[in-house]
Structure 1
Amino acid sequence: MKVLKFGGTSLGSPENIKKVIAIVAKKSQNDQLIIVVSAFSGVTNQLQECSRLAEKGDENYKAQLDELINRHLEAVQDLLGAKAQSGLMAKVRLVLNEIEDILKGVFLIQELSNKTLDKVIGSGEVLSAFIVNEFFLQEGMKSNLINPLEFILTDSEFGKANVDMALTEEKIKPYFQNQKADVLVCPGFVSKDLYGNSTTLGRGGSDYTAALIAAALDAPELEIWTDVSGMMTANPKYVKQAFAIPQIDYEEAMELTHFGAKVLYPPSVHPVYKKGIPIYIKNTFEPDAEGTKIHEFPEPDSQSIKGISCIENIALFNLSGSSMVGIPYFSHRLFEALAQAKVSVILITQASSEHSICVAIDLEDVEKAKFAIEKAFSLEFKEEMLNPLYVETDLAIVALVSSQMKNQIGLSGKMFSVLGQNGINIKAIAQGSSEKNISAVIDKKQVKKALNTLHESFFLSDLKRVNLFIVGTGNVGQTLIDQLNQQSEYLKEHNQIDLRISGIANSRKMLFDLNGIPLENAVETLMEKGQKMDLEDFLLEMKALNLRNSIFIDNTAHEVVANTYAGVLESSISVVTPNKIACTGKFGDYKNLKNLALRYRSHFRFETNVGAGLPVINTLDDLIKSGDEVLGIQAVLSGSLNFIFNNYTGEGESFADVVKQAQVEGFTEPDPRIDLSGVDVKRKILILLRESGFEMELDDIDTIPFIPEKCMQAENVEKFFEAIAKEEAHFKKLVEEANAEGKKLKYVATFENGKANTGLEKVAPDSPLYNLEGKDNIVLFNTKRYPEQPLVIKGAGAGAAVTASGIFGDIIRIANAL
């Protein structure tokens, strides 16, 4: 004899019920089956809502009840032929009429006891069983309807009655011995007390009904049929990559169900656990899927963690004070007060100093728990022997579950580390001495991020997903996306990094996609599907998504975007940018961004601020962290200016023509005055000095201009080109003077003896700067370790490709650190 239980979703529609009969027909060929059924999906909630409305005197209960009545009558009509309908309709209407009468009475007196509520909500399973059994009969099965009120006996704790196990088992055995039908259909959830009153076994109690029957009859197995293919490694509503656990032991299953795994009602495990009866969790809609086997001695499994679960809507009570230290029975008084108030404690943690104790409870119980605790310790609160009771709400518990934790080193450390790296603050932790789970209390809004982060770390550790939010799709932005697309598969295969664009924006549109915006045509997709761009909305959505391993990439040069970095870093989202504005504003603001990144475990990367793709800042960072000290810097930091003075000879093309060429080839900003003013170089040397540990402002750096002021004051770019064309003699003279001395013109940034300056210099042939070609940059660091021969970093310092590669490098460095 086998016991199968079908949940509400399996019976949610006539089409689904037809899937159930296909499963039952196949299995009934060799065994007598007991089929335990839940109410149709949503019916129990609807019956409860009708009851609450009636209690309030709200006539809307009638409309909801009518909807429920019609649903069951329509199910009868859809499933059964005319001949079978008449007899069943009478039974169904009898139950429905009784519900109507009860609710009418509740409405009139506006009072609803738990006893009455049990009578109402238990009728959903009764109706479901009537319809399913009749359908089986119509389809030619030898089926019989059985009544659990005759063998499941409980106390009178209405709402969640406690089963009298000995008496129930004593009743079940003879009851089923007399049942000869091939298929026995039994309503789940419902029971009766010793006085004959209807009771219920708690929400999810249909599983419990099936388990009680299976245990009493020593069934070879218990099958729970639902809408998922087994117990999942995490809640698939939050974790799309969750998968079914092939096998799990009873204790692990109980831990997972306790911590929110909805696929199985927690008390259901215990009756079959005692008898060693395996439980199979199966999917009605994928009956051939393997599902999950819950049994006593699962085979050795390399996976140390079996599942990650959570309980939402948690409140945390913190009771603290000096009077707690060394006082006997203090904890006893606390838990006694909560028990008398019928408040279930979900998690407990206490400091070894005995100065405080935390308990986590269901959010619904906050008020009565608060009242009970304050009453129990009223004297201590009055005499200020205890601190005021501190209550935090809108929390959740996440838990790692495994029976093998005791033999695994570092699981707790890994759990807390990955949560911390993603900015998830832990309010409280608990791990039982049996080491079956590690639990952490966190903000409810962080649940999705926490579950995905933990799931990736413990189940998908060979592939780390990084969520990119890109603002700016110009030359650099588009080139970066092209590079991401080109290297995507390589990074997955060789570095186990999955880079995904989850959000993208330009000045006109923005777009988000949790599944990732296609790299091969991201900008086209943005323009086709995106909505109007609003920076504030973009940032709010990025933060609200709260995705793990998130990186905000600013490819713009806008101050308004740079001013948002603090809020992004505070949200534990890393920032990568070629935008120099944030690092060259006030020193206090720059330092604040660095501190925020440390505090919130995010990363602030700006390698491309100096030297585009050259490893200038990272090299400097390594020097400083390893204890070196910068004594001097000499650098050509403008690829655009180097390109201009390498190509302007004073004999061929005019200075204006060379600048125009640099602009067309993308070596300058759209307005070349930004480059020619030297302010860009000034910002770059300032960043290097700040990264070297010097507290300097932009105004501390002297700049010697080489462009006539009247040119720089031109009203637009076109007028500027006209103005510098008229000053050709000035630029020609600069080149001729340098040539006469056997030198070349380079725009140089220098730091020496605590002072910094930028300007056009004549560089001699023996200088490393002399032979700098094209758009290349060069940086010379004189440090305590490199006092005579400087450390030299040289290479291309401008252009979309090298800048994008520098941004890409920062992304990879962050991904490797996550």
Structure 2
Amino acid sequence: MTKTQIFKFGGASVKDASAVKNLAEILRNRLRKNMVIVVSAMGKTTNALEKLLELRMKEEDISSNSTILKNYHLEICKDLFPADHTIFSKLDNYFLQLEKLLVNPITKDNYDEYYDRVVAFGELISSRIVMEYLCEIGLVSVWQDAREFISTNSDFRFAKINWEKTRLNCQKNLKSILDQFPVVTQGFIGADPQGRTTTLGREGSDFTAAILATSLDAGSVTIWKDVPGVLNADPKLFEDTQLFDELDYQQAAQMTFYGASVIHPKTIKPLANSGIPLFVKSFLKPEAAGTKIFQLGKQNPIPTIVLKQNQILVTFRVTDFTFIEEEQIHTIYEQLNALKLRVNFLQTSAISVSIIIDQQLFKLEQLVNSLKNKFIIRYNEGLELLTVLHPDRKDFSDLNPGYEILLEQSTRNTVQFVRRKE
């Protein structure tokens, strides 16, 4: 029996009508039953939906932004479908639902839950457009709501997967459909036990592909990107990048941990545990080999540069003359865990703990308020974290021209710089 294949297409691969047509061309000779197509929101739609939430919280008018977002999707559909196609009424219905949802007051207390309900529309709309277009050109497929089989807890914005229930849902409900048709579904979203929409963390569509692959005992996952595969640095930020033809699961996981944006950090673990290979390929050159990530058993020695932007440096100093001990570090991490904040960099001294975290709405304020009675807290926003994996030299001044280095840390295999523009 042929094993299921998972294809994941990100926002750039569906950003306009020509991109959707290109996606269809990629699938023309590849699409078959027992295939799941996971689709992200179109272009920068998630950012636009986040902006609607921000305006709604400030009790400002959202009609202009909402109209721009609707017209963006409408123009794509006009280029893909005849004027009498049902996609237009479906699009109207989605935006009607969105507008009704945004009538409700949004506060700090309910923001995370509303965030998930609102941003999910990006994936729901894009996957519906993709499925309808595939059917329009004769590539028959079935649309499925990911919330019906991706089961999570109720940690809105950072939901954890109920693996047992998700597998049961996929084996019981999804497999029978895949025996007859390919399925188009959404990345990034799931549902909690009460049926409420949850999301898996920003850029979580890759993770969705891995979840479905594991739950369906798939043969492979292919992520289609606007780059040739996994590179040793972001080509938009650094010159002379090198392509990895093959990567070991462990090295790929290490790269994503430090912030390599080509693959979502949670993607590798379930695939590695199940021995499912991951291919990263270019939707601009679909015939090219790309990168294969599997149990290679050896690491690639090419130095890798990873840059994380929008970082915050937070330093906690003890309020008396005691030294930093495990108890203080535990107190800080306990609060970070409660706020679902991940530490990207940690440095301790005799009297202080310094951490780097991602910029997230409200989270810094909540962190400071929760610990200000126990520590003297200072922070710097708008920073960058530059990580070099497998460095082949000791001087990295050419990587940091025009930057002030606030913190530096090195081990045998890793060098990191916390920096800001001078």
TM-score of the pair, normalised by structure 1: 0.47
For each residue in 1:2-61, what CA deviation from the matched residue of structure 2 results, as whole angstroms up to 9, or x when unmatched? 1000011100111111111111111126x63210101111111111211221232212x1
1:17 is aligned to 20
**What secondary structure is seen at the aligned counterpart in 2 of 1:52?**
helix
Tell me the amino acid that sits aligned with residue 228 of structure 1: V
Gap change, CA 1:422 and 1:54, over 3 Å in 2? closer
| Whole-angstrom CA distance in 2 between matches of 1:80 and 1:114 | 35
1:428 aligns with 2:416: no
Q: Post-superposition shift, 1:326? A: 7.7
Gap change, CA 1:23 and 1:363, over 3 Å in 2? closer
**What secondary structure is seen at the aligned counterpart in 1 of 2:47?**
helix
Percent identity, aligned pairs only, is 27
Greater relative contact order, per chain length (Cα 8 Å cut-off, separation 6+):
2
Contact 1:427 1:440 survives alignment (8 Å)? no
1:438 aligns with 2:401: no
Specify which of 21, 40, 43 is matched with residue 41 of structure 1: 43
For each residue in 1:449-473, what CA deviation from the matched residue of structure 2 results, as whole angstroms up to 9, or x when unmatched? xxxxxxxxxxxxxxxxxxxxxxxxx
Specify which of 13, 19, 29 is matched with residue 26 of structure 1: 29
Contact 2:404 2:420 survives alignment (8 Å)? no
| Whole-angstrom CA distance in 2 between matches of 1:230 and 1:399 | 20
Aligned pairs for 1:165-564 (under 5 A) are 165-179=163-177, 180-297=179-296, 304-320=301-317, 323-325=321-323, 327=325, 329-351=327-349, 354-364=350-360, 365-377=363-375, 388-402=376-390, 411=391, 414-415=393-394, 417-419=395-397, 426-430=405-409, 438-445=414-421
Aligned pairs for 1:619-768 (under 5 A) are none
Gap change, CA 1:206 and 1:326, over 3 Å in 2? closer
1:8 aligns with 2:11: yes
Gap change, CA 1:183 and 1:306, over 3 Å in 2? farther
For each residue in 1:724-744, what CA deviation from the matched residue of structure 2 results, as whole angstroms up to 9, or x when unmatched? xxxxxxxxxxxxxxxxxxxxx
Gap change, CA 1:339 and 1:176, over 3 Å in 2? closer
Q: Post-superposition shift, 1:105? A: 3.4
Gap change, CA 1:3 and 1:398, over 3 Å in 2? same
Contact 2:253 2:265 survives alignment (8 Å)? yes
Gap change, CA 1:398 and 1:328, over 3 Å in 2? closer
Higher share in helix: 1
- Over alpha carbons, which structure has the higher Rg? 1
Gap change, CA 1:419 and 1:117, over 3 Å in 2? same
1:153 aligns with 2:151: yes
Contact 2:388 2:416 survives alignment (8 Å)? no
| Whole-angstrom CA distance in 2 between matches of 1:98 and 1:104 | 10
1:66 aligns with 2:44: no
| Whole-angstrom CA distance in 1 between matches of 2:195 and 2:400 | 55
Q: Post-superposition shift, 1:217? A: 1.3
Q: Post-superposition shift, 1:122? A: 0.2
**What secondary structure is seen at the aligned counterpart in 2 of 1:280?**
strand
Contact 1:222 1:279 survives alignment (8 Å)? yes
Gap change, CA 1:144 and 1:422, over 3 Å in 2? closer
Aligned pairs for 1:7-156 (under 5 A) are 7-28=10-31, 32-59=34-61, 61-82=62-83, 85=85, 87-106=86-105, 113-156=111-154
**What secondary structure is seen at the aligned counterpart in 2 of 1:95?**
helix
| Whole-angstrom CA distance in 2 between matches of 1:187 and 1:326 | 46
Q: Post-superposition shift, 1:369? A: 3.2
**What secondary structure is seen at the aligned counterpart in 2 of 1:91?**
helix
Q: Post-superposition shift, 1:363? A: 4.3
Contact 2:407 2:419 survives alignment (8 Å)? no
Gap change, CA 1:95 and 1:376, over 3 Å in 2? same
| Whole-angstrom CA distance in 2 between matches of 1:368 and 1:110 | 10
Gap change, CA 1:203 and 1:340, over 3 Å in 2? closer
Q: Post-superposition shift, 1:130? A: 1.1
For each residue in 1:747-785, what CA deviation from the matched residue of structure 2 results, as whole angstroms up to 9, or x when unmatched? xxxxxxxxxxxxxxxxxxxxxxxxxxxxxxxxxxxxxxx
Q: Post-superposition shift, 1:257? A: 2.1
Gap change, CA 1:430 and 1:147, over 3 Å in 2? same
Contact 2:256 2:263 survives alignment (8 Å)? yes
Gap change, CA 1:421 and 1:80, over 3 Å in 2? closer
Gap change, CA 1:331 and 1:420, over 3 Å in 2? farther
Gap change, CA 1:425 and 1:53, over 3 Å in 2? closer
**What secondary structure is seen at the aligned counterpart in 2 of 1:19?**
helix
For each residue in 1:364-390, what CA deviation from the matched residue of structure 2 results, as whole angstroms up to 9, or x when unmatched? 44443333332234xxxxxxxxxx544
**What secondary structure is seen at the aligned counterpart in 2 of 1:159?**
coil
Q: Post-superposition shift, 1:200? A: 1.4
Q: Post-superposition shift, 1:333? A: 2.5
| Whole-angstrom CA distance in 1 between matches of 2:237 and 2:332 | 35
Gap change, CA 1:305 and 1:81, over 3 Å in 2? same
| Whole-angstrom CA distance in 2 between matches of 1:243 and 1:78 | 37
| Whole-angstrom CA distance in 1 between matches of 2:400 and 2:257 | 26
RMSD over equivalenced CA pairs, Å: 2.7
Q: Post-superposition shift, 1:234? A: 1.0
Q: Post-superposition shift, 1:419? A: 2.9
| Whole-angstrom CA distance in 1 between matches of 2:242 and 2:48 | 31
Gap change, CA 1:49 and 1:318, over 3 Å in 2? closer
For each residue in 1:486-510, what CA deviation from the matched residue of structure 2 results, as whole angstroms up to 9, or x when unmatched? xxxxxxxxxxxxxxxxxxxxxxxxx
| Whole-angstrom CA distance in 2 between matches of 1:17 and 1:194 | 34
Tell me the amino acid that sits aligned with residue 309 of structure 1: V
Gap change, CA 1:419 and 1:57, over 3 Å in 2? same
Contact 1:317 1:360 survives alignment (8 Å)? yes
Gap change, CA 1:5 and 1:315, over 3 Å in 2? same
**What secondary structure is seen at the aligned counterpart in 2 of 1:191?**
strand
Q: Which segment drifts farther, 112-121 or 143-152?
A: 112-121
Contact 1:143 1:184 survives alignment (8 Å)? yes
Gap change, CA 1:393 and 1:52, over 3 Å in 2? closer
Q: Post-superposition shift, 1:125? A: 0.8
Gap change, CA 1:152 and 1:320, over 3 Å in 2? same
| Whole-angstrom CA distance in 1 between matches of 2:216 and 2:91 | 30
Gap change, CA 1:421 and 1:143, over 3 Å in 2? closer
| Whole-angstrom CA distance in 2 between matches of 1:401 and 1:110 | 38
**What secondary structure is seen at the aligned counterpart in 1 of 2:227?**
coil
Gap change, CA 1:362 and 1:439, over 3 Å in 2? farther
Contact 1:305 1:400 survives alignment (8 Å)? no
Tell me the amino acid that sits aligned with residue 67 of structure 1: I
**What secondary structure is seen at the aligned counterpart in 2 of 1:238?**
coil
Q: Post-superposition shift, 1:327? A: 4.8
| Whole-angstrom CA distance in 2 between matches of 1:240 and 1:278 | 29
**What secondary structure is seen at the aligned counterpart in 2 of 1:161?**
coil
Gap change, CA 1:40 and 1:328, over 3 Å in 2? closer
For each residue in 1:205-230, what CA deviation from the matched residue of structure 2 results, as whole angstroms up to 9, or x when unmatched? 21111111111112111001121111
Q: Post-superposition shift, 1:336? A: 2.4
| Whole-angstrom CA distance in 2 between matches of 1:326 and 1:104 | 48
Contact 2:225 2:283 survives alignment (8 Å)? yes
Gap change, CA 1:110 and 1:260, over 3 Å in 2? closer
For each residue in 1:161-194, what CA deviation from the matched residue of structure 2 results, as whole angstroms up to 9, or x when unmatched? 1111121112111222211444211111121100
**What secondary structure is seen at the aligned counterpart in 1 of 2:115?**
helix
For each residue in 1:539-595, what CA deviation from the matched residue of structure 2 results, as whole angstroms up to 9, or x when unmatched? xxxxxxxxxxxxxxxxxxxxxxxxxxxxxxxxxxxxxxxxxxxxxxxxxxxxxxxxx
**What secondary structure is seen at the aligned counterpart in 1 of 2:102?**
helix
Q: Aligned pairs, how many? A: 414
